[in-house]
Structure 1
C-alpha cells in the first residue's frame, strides 16, 4: 500500500496564527537586507542549532528567494483537500519550529485520515539538516510498514 509523509509541514493554505515574523521578513526583503534575513532566519528556523551548516542553508534560501523575486508562486492550495489522502501517513513536527509551523503540522496531521504525527521535541525547522537519521527512519518505517525508532 502506498505511504505518504511530510516533514516540517506547512504551506500557503495552512491556517497561520497572527505573527510579526512576516512583517519583519517583508521589511527586510523589501530593503534587500540579506544579512538581516539570514539573522531572522536563524532566530526563527534554526533555534536548536544556528551553527555554520544552518547559516549556510538559510543563506542559500535567502539567495534563492532573492533570485526568484516576483517569479515565485505559491503551491496550489492543498490544506482543504488533505482528507482525500488515504495512504497511511506520518507528519514529523519539530518541537522547536516556528509556532505557526508546529500548529500547521498538527492541523495537517489531523486532516489526514491515517496519519501518525511524530513530534521531535529537540528539533527545529531544519530537521533534515540536524536529524537526517530521524528522516531516514521515518521513510524506512513508511516503506516497510514497521515501527522503527520514531514513535
Structure 2
C-alpha cells in the first residue's frame, strides 16, 4: 500500500505527523488521549482499499511535536483537512478523538459527510465520581506519567496485554505517557459543549463501543444514540476501550457499511 506521510502546521505552534493512503471518498481517523495513530494499524489498510484515508498523531503525541502554546483539537482537525484539500470528509473518532470529531461536526457541519464515534466521549458529559475515574483524573492533574499509564491499562484496557492487540496497546501507552502529561494541559476546550447540541447533528452517525469497555462509555453511547437524529448504535463483543485493536475485523465491517 502506497502512503503519503507529511507534517501539518497547527495551532499549538508545532506540527502534526499525518499519513494518507487510498483513493475514494475521504475518511479521517482520530485516536484517543494518550495514544497515537497506531491505534488504526489494523483498520487503516482495509479502509484505504475503498477510501482516501487520513490518520494523524494528535498534538504532542506519537510523532507530532509538543505544543509550545495553547492549542485546539478542533482547529488541528480543520488544519489536517485543509492540508490534504478535503473540503468534506467522514470522521471516525475513538474516545477523545470521537469527542473532537463531534465538536468539529457541531462547529462545521458542512464539512462532515458522516460520523462514526467509537468508544466516544462527548464534551459536556458529567463523569461519575467512581474511585477508578477519580484516581485517573488525579494522576492526570498531577502529571504523574507512570501512574497515569498504569491506570490507563487497568481501566481502559482491562482485557490485558495477552488479548488481541495488547502488546501494541501497552507500547503506545508507555510511549505517550510523558508526552501526554507534558502537552495535554495546554488544550483549549470548545466554547460550547456538544452534549447540549446533539439534536443539531445532521451527518449520518454510527455509535460503536465494546462490550468490555468501561460502563460509562456504554452510558455515553446510549446518550449519543438517543440525542443524535437517526444515529445507530452497535456493540462489538470481546472488545474493551481499545476496540480498533481488539476487534478490528468487526469494526472495519461496520465502518465500510456506514461510510459513504
Shared fold (TM-score greater than 0.5)?
A: yes
**TM-score, with normalisation over the residues of structure 2?**
0.49
Higher relative contact order (CA 8 A, sep 6+): 1
Cα deviation, 1:45-94, whole Å, max 9, x if unaligned, reads 11123332121122244233212153123345111111112233210011
In structure 2, the partner of 1:139 is: 255
Higher strand share: 2
Unaligned 5+ segments in structure 1 are 145-151
In structure 1, the partner of 2:221 is: 105
8 Å CA contact 1:83, 1:111 repeated in 2: yes
**TM-score, with normalisation over the residues of structure 1?**
0.80
Q: Distance in 1 between matches of 2:239 and 2:255?
A: 17
8 Å CA contact 1:93, 1:120 repeated in 2: yes
Asked if 1:23 corresponds to 2:139, the answer is: no
After the TM superposition, which residues 1-151 of structure 1 pair with which residues of structure 2 at under 5 Å, given as runs? Answer: 2-50=113-161, 51-75=166-190, 76-143=192-259
What is the deviation of 1:30? 4.8
What is the deviation of 1:119? 0.9
Cα deviation, 1:8-47, whole Å, max 9, x if unaligned, reads 1212312323322342124333554322221111111111
Higher helix share: 1
Q: Distance in 2 between matches of 1:66 and 1:97?
A: 23
